[in-house]
Every structure is written in C-alpha cells, then in structure tokens.
Amino acid sequence: MREKRGKWRFSTRHRVQDQPFRLPESTLCDEMEGEGEMILLRAMRCLGWGGFGALLFTGPALAQQPSLDMSAINAVDECMVAEICIDRYLLAFYERTPKTDTIKETEKRKAIVKKKGKSRIVTITITKLVDEDFTWKDPKAAERMGMSLADYVIGGMDVGFKTTLYHALHALDEAGFVPGITSAFRDDYRQSIATGLKASNDRSYHGGNFRGGYGHGLAADIVSVNGETRAQRYLASEQMWKWIDAHEKELGIGRPYLDVDAPHVGPLDGKEYADHRLAPKILHAEARTKRHGIVHHDHTVAKRAKTAKSGKAGSA
C-alpha cells in the first residue's frame, strides 16, 4: 500500500474560496480560461446557466461588449463554481461504489425437543447473514423529494463538510485505497428504510430533520472499491479505515463509532465525533483522576494514623 508523503490539514471550517480549486481530472470548470466575453460565457456554462445568474451577468454584459469590465468578469463567484465541481467529484466516488451490504435476517421455526423424557414444541430463532442490494433506496428517496439523485445525495450535505470530504477522499485515493461513497445525505424517509445499525429517523447526522435536514448532512459512509470480489474489497476497506484512524487530524474526518459502524465518517470538529469519541475519553480521564485522588487521600489518612500510633507508643 503506497502512502503519499506529507500531511493534509483541512477542516470543515475552511471556506471553498480560501484556496484555488483544482480537480485531478479535467472538468467543465477547467475550460474557464480566455479573455473577454469568452470567460463570461464559459463561467456561466460551468454554473449551469442558472436563471438568476444568466440574467444578472449575461444581460448587461453582452449588451455592452465593447466596455466589458474584466475585473468584474474575473470576479464571477468562484466559490459557487468550485462547489459544483466538488459535487461532481464526490458524485463520481458515489457512482463507482457498489451499494451492497450484509444484514442479519432472523427466521423463527418450531421444533420438537425432549426434556426429561417428555417431548415439547418450542420456537427457535435462526439468524443468518444475507447480502442486501440497497441501490434503489437513494433514487426512491430523491424521487419523493422531486430531486435528481445527484442533488439529493451530494447536494444535501453541508457545504463545509463536502469540502473536507473532497480533500480527504483525494488523499485516500492518492494513498492507493481507491475509496468510494455508499451513502451521503439521508432525509427522514431514507433513514426509515435503512437497515442495520442506525439512528432514529430524524436524528441521523446524515441529514435528519432534528440535525437541520437538507443541506446540513454531516456524515457519509465510505468504503474501498479496491478488489475484484466483495471479500477483497472488505479487506481493503478495513485497511483504509485503520489508516483514517491514524491520520484523522490531517484528513479532518474521523470515525465516531469506530468498528461498531466502520464506514461512517464525520467532521473531526463535529458534535457527533465529540459525543462519541471525545466525551468518553474525558469522562474516563475524570473518573481516573477522581479515583487517584481518593486513593491519595486514604493513603494520607493511613499515614497520619500510623504516625499518631507511633507517637503514643514512644511516650508510654
């Protein structure tokens, strides 16, 4: 496994415009080079020709081409452009990842057992592991909200977290882990049809209403897609999760539940990480300090009692 030298230091507090944005692969935004009205046209093309943006920038500008203000053209909202490019980058990681999981299914059967020579009919529960394909769940949830899959899954995440996740995935990809996204934003409905270990429907950090809903998703599930078989991909994922744990400060993301919910990641400075990773450490440290304080106090009392007893013996 190849590890890139150096460290990555990012935080969800970083604004997209704080640093120039470049994608590893060419995108529509890379075409924004040129002069005059061509920069404007390419910028608006990259922005998707939003209705308001088109009227705001193209109307007056194209009507007065001879007196174009180049500084105004170059100041087209770069943050907005970069956000669209980040969304496309994250969507590529989402689309390349198989949406499969292993879940537990239980089946109850009646059986006859003998105890002390007597036969009894009892109900036994059989648990088995089965593969589940949940590819259909996100499109169904997006349809219910009247959105495209990209707008739902990626667009529903917090802007700052998307930036941090972009940098983290780029670092993981550079390190050779071939990461992918299985789940990003989830609304209450999507959470209700999720299986396995999960939060209550409205309290998921993926984007439940209690956490702010759409546009405030602060969690994603990431795995490695490196390997031909599912077993190979799982082993690669385990290696990647351990690497994340070792480099979480540089990446800006962490695993709040560790191996209890291994693929789940969130911002290192987020409430979820603080509640499940930092709070237990603080409580443990406080308990340890308190325990040591009691031991020290008892030791002092015992020492004083011993000294007093020796003094009495000497005076006698």
- In a shared domain, residues 190 and 118: yes
The last residue of one of the domains, among 79, 95, 111, is 95
Tens of pLDDT, residue by residue over 79-100, are: 557 889 999 999 999 999 999 8
Tens of pLDDT, residue by residue over 159-173, are: 999 999 999 999 999
The last residue of one of the domains, among 68, 95, 122, is 95
Helices 78-95, 37-46: crossing angle, 10 deg rounding: 40
**Nearest one of 266, 274, 280, 276 to 216, comparing CA atoms:** 266
Q: CA 7, 12, 15 angle in degrees (round to 5)?
A: 100
172 part of a folded domain: yes
Least reliable range by pLDDT among 46-60, 88-102, 250-264:
46-60
**Nearest one of 139, 232, 231, 230 to 186, comparing CA atoms:** 139
pLDDT of the residue at 290:
64
Task: Please give the Cα distance from 314 to 6 (Å, whole number).
Answer: 69
Helices 159-174, 230-246: crossing angle, 10 deg rounding: 110
- In a shared domain, residues 166 and 193: yes
Question: What CATH number does residue 214 fall under?
Answer: 3.30.1380.10
Q: What Rg value do the Cα atoms of the chain yield, rounded?
A: 29
**Nearest one of 228, 282, 235, 283 to 262, comparing CA atoms:** 235
Total domains in the chain come to 2
- In a shared domain, residues 61 and 110: no
- In a shared domain, residues 132 and 191: yes
Residue corresponding to tokens 């709070």: 279
9 part of a folded domain: no
Tens of pLDDT, residue by residue over 12-38, are: 443 333 444 444 444 444 444 444 444
pTM above 0.85, yes or no: no
pLDDT of the residue at 287:
62
- In a shared domain, residues 247 and 122: yes
11 part of a folded domain: no
Q: What is the mean pLDDT of residues 249-276?
A: 96
Residue corresponding to tokens 């396995």: 196
- In a shared domain, residues 43 and 147: no
136 part of a folded domain: yes
- Structural domain for 168, as ranges: 100-269
The last residue of one of the domains, among 95, 130, 163, is 95
Task: Please give the Cα distance from 53 to 63 (Å, whole number).
Answer: 16
Question: Which amino acid is residue 157, in one-letter code?
Answer: M
2 part of a folded domain: no
pLDDT band at 215 (very low <50, low <70, confident <90, very high): very high
Task: Please give the Cα distance from 1 to 216 (Å, whole number).
Answer: 34
162 part of a folded domain: yes
pLDDT band at 9 (very low <50, low <70, confident <90, very high): very low
- In a shared domain, residues 113 and 246: yes
- In a shared domain, residues 115 and 73: no
Q: What is the mean pLDDT of residues 98-127?
A: 83
pLDDT of the residue at 72:
42
Residue 233 has pLDDT above 50, yes or no: yes
Share of the chain above pLDDT 70, in %: 62
213 part of a folded domain: yes
- In a shared domain, residues 112 and 251: yes
- In a shared domain, residues 24 and 172: no
Q: What is the mean pLDDT of residues 309-316?
A: 44
Task: Please give the Cα distance from 184 to 89 (Å, whole number).
Answer: 13
**Nearest one of 78, 265, 281, 64 to 183, comparing CA atoms:** 265
pLDDT of the residue at 139:
97
- In a shared domain, residues 69 and 205: no
Task: Please give the Cα distance from 45 to 159 (Å, whole number).
Answer: 21
- In a shared domain, residues 136 and 218: yes
